[in-house]
Amino acid sequence: MSSKCEQCIVRQFSSLKALNKEELLKMAECKTSYIIKKGEPIFEEGETTNGIFCIKDGVCKLTKLSANGKDQIVKLVKPGELLGQRSLISEEPTNLSAVALEDMEVCFIPKKEIMEFFNENNQFSMNVMKTICGDLKDADDHMVSLAQKSVKERLAETLLHLEDTFGKNEDGTLHIQLSREELAGMIGTATESCIRLLSEFNKTGLIELIGKKIAIVDRNKLKRMSE
Amino acid sequence: MSSKCEQCIVRQFSSLKALNKEELLKMAECKTSYIIKKGEPIFEEGETTNGIFCIKDGVCKLTKLSANGKDQIVKLVKPGELLGQRSLISEEPTNLSAVALEDMEVCFIPKKEIMEFFNENNQFSMNVMKTICGDLKDADDHMVSLAQKSVKERLAETLLHLEDTFGKNEDGTLHIQLSREELAGMIGTATESCIRLLSEFNKTGLIELIGKKIAIVDRNKLKRMSE
DNA sequence: AAATTTGTATGACAAATATCATATTTTAAT
DNA sequence: ATTAAAATATGATATTTGTCATACAAATTT
């Protein structure tokens, strides 16, 4: 028996907040829930998903494999967000892979129902459009950053962004747990270069390295460095 | 007296093809036509546009000023496409500037009418969504390219893209006319580096430089080089 | 618990790219 | 037509970044 969608966190934060009781009921009936273990894919580049995923818990990375074999992280997606809207609307296979960075809980809603919501609920369409527009703006910003900033500036920028978006633990370390390789994949550099710069930031008191974890020590300096 | 929108090139290629006779008539009445001279802006980063622009003739660049003062070219927009959809939907000021690369003819449609089309014509909404999704996919691809490819690879890739998208003149040179600085701004590198590589491509027979113009000589080699 | 694999760290060096200087050509202004 | 300004071109050099090698630490498997 499916659980209700009415009180789900995803509904509060995503385009789905526009859905009415009847629509939510329909969704609760057609949805499938999944548990995805850390490291496992939700979908992979080139797949046809035929629906969208709602992220109830856990963070995942959207990556694209580049010609040289490295995974570029395009975006991190957190609870409350939807996944796979783009390829559903474009009616194309996904151009990105989604891989869990933590254990995740997700729900899958089939294309059929989503398309019905589009047709019947204008506010829902508008919300989805706004989300995608937001993604596009972020992508443009990211693009300029990759094109015009140095690796050092991008690392500083990314560390701040990670703290702002995912928060920190009691010991001040970033809550989101990325390997050095993944962090390098976000800023578009070699893993060794990323490690070297973290080490440098550590020595100059910008951050503190506690095992594999990273704590931001001097936010202001880091901010200045990112510009 | 406004001219009709029914036969306009923009209608054939853009989301506007979903509009019916009545809607086109409404649009013809509310639109304003502009002539934009080469080098002039249509709008600038941070402005609130309050409507969308239809490009009837001429190509423009969408740029974003980076912290180091260089203009990054995010996208080139050609006749038949719409401009300013993102910020209209997000209800935010534009994050990009639009500057004419050639003399242009554009029409401005106020926000009010566009929103009415959204509400009354589902196919139109769907078309706009698809366009924005396409832009998002392109942005992701571009991002990976900037992050993972060398300047040489990006230049090769960009030259091919420019020929594919904008065609060539009778003498084989690229039809779209970009300065070296603008080309550098597309691939995200210093102008000197761009010039140097063009010079190298010229010497190795990949391209031919005819004054400021560029002709692709060996497409296949250039393709292989871009990967 | 020992062994293997994986991730992190650092040095040495090579390659890519940016920067600065300057020459030349082209375009625009007077 | 002359001059000034802007764009293109190229060399010299510094800086950034990537690659390869290797060491060490942590996690995982046996």
**Nearest residue of B to residue A148, measured between CA atoms:** B188
Residue A182 confidence (pLDDT) = 97
CATH of the domain at B92: 2.60.120.10
Can you tell me the distance from the alpha carbon of A116 to that of A29, in angstroms, rounded to the nearest whole number?
14
Does pLDDT of A55 surpass 90?
yes
Largest pairwise CA distance in chain A = 58
A66-70, B174-178, B185-189: which range is least confident on average?
A66-70
pLDDT of residue A227: 85
**Res B68: pLDDT:** 83
Q: What pLDDT digit, counting tens, does each position of A118-152 carry? A: 888 989 999 999 999 999 999 999 999 999 999 99
Helix (H, G, I), strand (E, B), or coil: what is residue A35?
Answer: strand
Q: Do B66 and A147 touch (CB under 8 A)?
A: yes
Residues 6+ apart with CB under 8 A from B192: none
Shared domain check, B134 and B34: yes
pLDDT of residue B173: 96
CA distance to partner chain B, nearest, from residue A124 (Å) = 12
Mean of per-residue pLDDT scores for chain B: 94
pLDDT for residue A148: 94
Domain match, B119 and B182 both? no
DSSP B136-177: HHHHHHHHHHHHHS-HHHHHHHHHHHHHHHH-B-TTSBBSS-
- Helix residue ranges per DSSP H, chain A: 9-13, 21-30, 85-90, 111-120, 122-148, 151-166, 180-187, 191-203, 219-225
Structure tokens at B86: 């993102």
CA A5 to CA A14: how far, in whole Å?
A: 12
User: Of A5-14, A19-28, A178-187, B124-133, where does mean pLDDT reach its minimum?
Assistant: A5-14
| Contact list, B68 vs chain A (CB under 8 Å) | 148-149
Kindly indicate the confidence band of residue B195, based on its pLDDT and cuts at 50, 70 and 90.
very high
| Residue A1, pLDDT above cutoff 60 | no
pLDDT at A67 over 90: no
B29-63 pLDDT, tens digit per residue, is 999 999 999 999 999 999 999 999 999 999 999 99
- Residue B111 CA to residue B103 CA, distance in Å, equals 25
Q: In angstroms, rounded to a whole number, what is the distance separating the alpha carbons of residues A177 and A183?
A: 10
d(CA B44, CA B11): 25
Could you tell me if residue A156 is inside a domain? yes
For residue A153, give the CATH number of its domain: 1.10.10.10
Kindly state whether residues A139 and A153 are assigned to the same domain: no
* Residue B179, C-beta contacts closer than 8 angstroms, at least 6 positions apart: B212
Would you say A146 and B188 are in contact if contact means Cβ atoms under 8 Å apart?
A: yes
**How far is Cα B125 from Cα A197, in angstroms, rounded to an integer?**
46
Domain boundary among A117, A146, A175: A146
In a domain, A15, yes or no: yes
Q: Which residues contact residue A204 at a Cβ distance below 8 angstroms, ignoring those fewer than 6 apart?
A: none
pLDDT value of residue A28: 93
Indicate the residue among B123, B146, B169 that finishes a domain. B146
Distance CA B48, CA B44 (A): 9
What pLDDT digit, counting tens, does each position of B86-112 carry?
A: 999 999 999 999 999 999 999 999 999
Residue A4 lies in a domain: no
Question: Does the CB of B122 sit below 7 A from strand D?
Answer: no
List all nucleotides in chain D with at least one atom under 7 A from a protein Cβ: 7-12, 16-21, 26-27
Same domain, yes or no, for A176 and A140?
A: no
Domains held by chain A: number: 2
The verdict on a CB contact (< 8 Å) between B67 and A227 is: yes
Whether residues B47 and B157 share a domain: the answer is: no
Q: Among residues A130, A16, A43, which one has the least CA distance to residue B129?
A: A130
User: Residue B2: its pLDDT value, please?
Assistant: 56
B187 contacts in chain A (CB < 8 Å): 147
Q: How confident is the model at residue A2 (pLDDT cuts 50, 70, 90)?
A: low
Establish whether the CB of A209 is closer than 7 Å to any nucleic acid atom in strand D: no
Tokens of B149: 């490819």
What is the nearest nucleotide to B190, using C1' and CA?
C18
Chain C: nucleotides under 7 Å from a protein CB?
7-12, 16-21, 26-27
A196/A204 Cα distance (integer angstroms): 12
Is the pLDDT reported for residue B122 higher than 90? no
Interatomic separation, CA of residue A202 and C1' of nucleotide C18, rounded (Å): 26
| Domain hosting residue A174, numbered range | 149-225
**Cα nearest neighbour of B69 on chain A:** A148
